[in-house]
Structure 1
Amino acid sequence: MNLNRRTVLAGLGGVAVAQTPLRAFATSTAQIGDYEFISVSDGNLVLPRAFFFDGLPQDELVQVLEGYDLPDDQLTPPCNVTLLRHADRVVLFDAGAGPAFMPSAGMLLDSLDAAGVAPEDVTHVVFTHAHPDHLWGVLDDFDDLVFPNAAYLMGSAEWNYWRDPATVDTIGEARAAFAVGAARRLEAIEERMEEIKDGQEVLPGIMTHASFGHTPGHMSFELRQGSDALMIGGDAIGNHHVAFARPEWPSGADQDADLGAETRKRLLDQLATDQTLLMGFHLPDGGLGRVERDGEAYRFVGADQ
């Protein structure tokens, strides 16, 4: 049975999936036991097509992209922040881009308002990684904390990388501003930060999965109750076309392209084998769907398909 607007994903028992827009902002929800996940939009990025596709085998790329109807000049991947409600916790996985990164992003607070969540309600912010569209939303225009009551959690390797003063000189000119911006924002939340490790239960029912490559310490997070599970993948699987059809191809978005490809192949195999729901930060349909095998490759099946 396919995912659709009012169905349960076959093989996942009690994992209910629905397309229930909260005004215009939230796209998809998933219920696993008494855990409620809501995909809330932070807007979208605007990136040149070359960012995704330069350096790839162009003849084969044309075949891979058939049917996706992608623009010829620039792509606009969505930014899907995951909101979790469970017991007395209100948890965000990543904090969005905030006001200083890109005009098309930074709408997270409007989306949270549509979901009935005030910034003061957020108890935890758990980071997949520290790129601008995931971290910079912790501060507002006045450099005040957007989520003043939250505790913050980030993988140790990621934290140490962006807090290292040498990173700005070694990350490369194109990403130097990322390093400067990350260092400033991480300093602002340092006293509230908890460093976390691979395989750690960071909150009840939430386990970390090291998914390095996109950044040196990128983390994914899995909620599993019996046979029901959802993986918050961050940017480890960064798009719904090439990343699935040719996961072994290097991605220009990954800081370590070889490691990123190895991580992507491992995660896709795991998700397809276990039929775990995937919440992807830059995937369509609010990022929520599942992974299907397609010959020797994979494809993304969104929640409205």
Structure 2
Amino acid sequence: MFLTRRTFLTRSTALAATTALPGRLWAGTTLTMGDIRIDTLSDGNLVLPGGFVLDGAPDEATEVLASLGVPTDRFEPPCNLTLLRDGTNTVLFDAGSGPDFMPSAGKILEALEAAGLGPEEITHVIFTHAHPDHIWGLLDDFDEPVFPEADYMIGQAEYDYWTDPDTVNTIGEARMTFAVGAERRLAAIADRTAFLTDGQEALPGITARLTPGHTPGHMSFVIGAGSDAVMVLGDAIGNPHLAFARPEWPSGSDQDPETGRATRKALFDQIMAEDMPVIGFHLPEGGIGRVERADDGFRFNAGI
């Protein structure tokens, strides 16, 4: 594997000079594995209340965050979309937030432009799950697919959950809009969507793994095999602080906290046993890195 970092500028230097407006800078990370090139592209960031992570965690969670220099009143996690190119397919993992979720997010089209790609060049969009920051970027302002030439893939269990008419009534008031938004977007691509099960090969070299808890049918994806593999985590390991330092603690961001922490334990066991690098949707510095043991838990180390 070979890893590089670079910075993208969405506006050209000439245009920026003409308009006297600053260009948006994107921190990009690139990983190459033989003929496969993987880039992480920024969709911006979220702004979340502290309870989104801390609800359900033990009281000492605030002490752990303080020791890591992390504030507890709000979190501003980055959003890293994974782009894979193998010479045949141009695959985007998740679609980002779009314009309707948070003003700080929904920037993937700018990031793609900076990488020299248009949305029509995406051949496949593979969803880890259907939360707003992962799927609301699927449709434009006219409810047309942003990636017009793409085929779509999502876990069967995840699709069944969000398209179940009863979900909006059982998910809880705080997430009710999540259910409405997911159902509408999934309906718009239903005739172009394939469904995945645990262990299934989504595309050559991409294997789906059921990693539930954050959502009922959340999936992670292993790219490659053996010693030359990397795992796209989605939100199964959803932050670089408590999820690593105390993976056994429940997280307020998980819809099923008990299943979520069991999934994290299993993932950390596999990642450590196979010495596998990971790509995290909300992990820092582009989201690509390795997991190391630290005290009673783990730590994320950006880079390969």
TM-score category (smaller protein): over 0.9
1:186 aligns with 2:186: yes
> CA offsets, 1:66-94, max 9 Å, x none?
44322353210000000001122110000
SS, match of residue 286 in structure 1: coil
Partner Cα distance (1:101, 1:63) in 2: 31
* Counterpart position of 1:218: 218
Is the 8 Å Cα contact of residues 32 and 225 (structure 1) preserved in structure 2?
no
1:19 aligns with 5
Deviations 1:200-233 (A, max 9, x none): 1110111011101100000000012441111000
Instruction: State the 1:16 CA deviation.
Output: 0.7
Establish whether residue 34 from structure 1 lines up as the match of residue 69 from structure 2.
Answer: no
Q: CA deviation at 1:145?
A: 0.9
Contact 2:28 2:41 (C-alpha < 8 Å) held by counterparts: yes
Q: Find runs of 4+ consecutive structure 1 residues off by over 4 angstroms.
A: none
Q: Secondary structure at the match of 2:215?
A: coil
Task: Provide the secondary structure at the position in 2 that maps to 1:154.
Answer: strand
Give, as a single letter, the amino acid of the residue that structure 1 aligns with 2:188. Answer: A
Conserved? CA contact 1:199–1:209, under 8 Å: yes
* Residue in 1 that maps onto 2:288: 288
- Give CA deviations for 1:224-266 in whole Å, capped at 9, x if unaligned: 2441111000000000010011101000010110000000011
Offset at 1:193? 0.4
The 1-side partners of 2:215 and 2:282 are apart by 15
**Match of 1:95, SS?**
coil
* Match of residue 73 from structure 1: 73
SS at match of 1:285: coil
CA distance in 1, matches of 2:164, 2:126: 20
Matches within 5 A, 1:34-73: 34-58=35-59, 60-73=60-73
Q: Post-superposition shift, 1:197?
A: 0.8
Q: What is the CA deviation profile of residues 86-114 of structure 1, one whole-angstrom value per residue up to 9, with x for unaligned ones?
A: 12211000000001111110000000100
Question: How many angstroms apart in 2 are the aligned matches of 1:54 and 1:170?
Answer: 19
CA contact (8 A) 1:25 1:110 kept: no
**Where does residue 143 of structure 1 map in the other structure?**
143
Cα root mean square deviation, aligned: 1.3
Segment of structure 1 superposing worse, 63-72 or 169-178: 63-72
> Residue 161 of structure 2 aligns with which residue?
161
Residue 295 of structure 1: CA displacement?
Answer: 3.8
TM-score normalized by the length of structure 2 = 0.92
> Which whole-Å deviations, capped at 9, do the CAs of 1:113-169 have from their partners, x for residues lacking one?
001110000000000000000001010111111000000000000001001111100
Amino acid at match of 1:18: T
Q: What is the one-letter code of the residue matched to 2:41?
A: V
Letter in 1 for 2:30: T
Q: For residue 4 of structure 2, what is the amino acid of its counterpart?
A: A
> Cα deviations across residues 24-63 of structure 1 (Å, max 9, x unaligned)?
22421111111100000000000011221133222x3244
TM-score (norm 1): 0.92
Please, which moves more after superposition, 32-41 or 266-275? Answer: 266-275
- Aligned partner of 2:57: which letter? L
Q: Does structure 1 residue 99 correspond to structure 2 residue 99? A: yes
How far, CA to CA, are the matches of 2:232 and 2:182 in structure 1?
22
- What letter corresponds to residue 70 of structure 2 in structure 1? L
Q: Which amino acid aligns with 1:215?
A: T
Matched with 1:11 is none
Q: Relative to structure 2, which stretch is displaced further, 230-239 or 65-74?
A: 65-74
Q: Give, in whole Å, the separation in 1 of the partners of 2:131 and 2:226.
A: 33
Amino acid at match of 1:130: A
> Aligned partners of 1:55, 1:198: CA distance in 2, in Å?
28
Q: Identify the residue that residue 242 of structure 1 maps to in structure 2.
A: 242
Q: Is the 8 A contact 1:81 1:96 kept in 2?
A: yes
